Amino acid sequence: MQTILITGANRGLGLEFVQQLLKQETRLFACCREPEKADTLSKLSKSTPDRLELVTCDVASKESIIQAVREVKSKTNQIDLLINNAGILINDETLDSLQAETLVQNFWVHAIGPTLLIRECLPLLKASPKAKILNLSSQLGSLNNKMSGGNYSYSSSKAALNMLTRCMAIDLRHEGVIAVVVHPGWVKTSMGGPHAAITPTESVTGMLKLVQGLNEADTGKFFTWTGERHPW
Ligand SMILES: NC(=O)c1ccc[n+]([C@@H]2O[C@H](COP(=O)([O-])OP(=O)(O)OC[C@H]3O[C@@H](n4cnc5c(N)ncnc54)[C@H](OP(=O)(O)O)[C@@H]3O)[C@@H](O)[C@H]2O)c1
How far, in Å, from the CA of 174 to the mean position of ligand 1? 31
pTM, rounded to two decimals: 0.98
30 CB-near residues (< 8 Å, 6+ apart) = 6, 9, 10, 14, 18, 38, 41, 45, 52, 53, 54, 55
* Distance in angstroms (rounded) separating the CA atoms of residues 36 and 174: 40
Nearest to 117 by CA among 182, 71, 169, 68: 68
Please indicate whether residue 200, judged by its CB atom, sits closer than 6 Å to ligand 1.
no
Which sequence spans correspond to the domains of the chain?
A: 2-224
How far, in Å, from the CA of 113 to the mean position of ligand 1? 13
Q: Which fold has domain 2-224?
A: Rossmann fold (3.40.50)
How far, in Å, from the CA of 20 to the mean position of ligand 1? 17
134 CB-near residues (< 8 Å, 6+ apart) = 81, 82, 83, 84, 180, 182, 207, 211
Helix (H, G, I), strand (E, B) or coil at 197: coil
Give the pLDDT score at 176.
94
Give the pLDDT score at 197.
98
Give the pLDDT score at 91.
87
Contact 29, 6 (CB under 8 A): yes
Per-residue pLDDT of the chain (232 residues; tens, 9 = 90+): 999 999 999 999 999 999 999 999 999 999 999 999 999 999 999 999 899 999 999 999 999 999 999 999 999 999 999 999 999 999 889 999 999 999 999 999 999 999 999 999 999 999 999 999 999 999 999 999 988 899 999 999 999 999 999 999 999 999 999 999 999 999 999 999 999 999 999 999 999 999 999 999 999 999 999 999 999 9
Please indicate whether residue 11, judged by its CB atom, sits closer than 6 Å to ligand 1.
yes
DSSP class per residue in 43-98: HHHHHSTTTEEEEE--TT-HHHHHHHHHHHHTT-S--SEEEE------TT--TTT-
Please indicate whether residue 127, judged by its CB atom, sits closer than 6 Å to ligand 1.
no
Contact 129, 78 (CB under 8 A): no
Residue nearest ligand 1's atom 21 by CA: 12
Give the pLDDT score at 216.
97
Q: Which of 18, 34, 85 to mutate to test the pocket of ligand 1 (most atoms within 8 A of CB)?
A: 85
Q: Which of 33, 224, 225 to mutate to test the pocket of ligand 1 (most atoms within 8 A of CB)?
A: 33
How far, in Å, from the CA of 89 to the mean position of ligand 1? 8
Give the pLDDT score at 123.
98
How far, in Å, from the CA of 145 to the mean position of ligand 1? 21
